[in-house]
Amino acid sequence: MLREAISTPDAPAALGPYSQAVKVGNTVYLSGQIPLDPGTGQLVQGGFEEQVEQAFRNLRAVAQRAGGGLSKCVKMTLFLTDMSQFPVVNQVMERYIAQPFPARSTVGVASLPRGAAFEVEAVMVLD
């Protein structure tokens, strides 16, 4: 089984020993993206909505580098430190992904890397 690591400077560099994504056949496993500015490596300024926007921009950049886009994602997992913000995530997600929407799980967590309030990971299948 051939595994290809995917990397782009348009998303934050990995914070540890992992790849931004790994492609196996026509399936791409996209690592979790938090709202880091890829240029500075710092958490974006602003509120929760700005964090969600940046995380989706980062995920989109990795998906595009792998030869797809967010519309090719079949499964997403969302991580929130405050589940009361879930409606904001839905609003932002609809700006980035059209129907049919991917399958999705949402997990409330105590904390995320770098003090982020949101993280998103995905599985993408290419044609």
Strand order in the sheet with 21-24: 3-6, 21-24, 27-33, 118-125, 73-80, 103-108
Q: Tens digit of pLDDT for each residue in 25-47?
A: 999 999 999 999 999 999 999 99
Q: Tens digit of pLDDT for each residue in 64-120?
A: 999 999 999 999 999 999 999 999 999 999 999 999 999 999 999 999 999 999 999
Domain that holds residue 65: 3-125
Global confidence as pTM: 0.97
**CATH number of domain containing 37:** 3.30.1330.40
Rounded Cα distance between 65 and 116, Å, is: 24
- Total of domains in the chain: 1
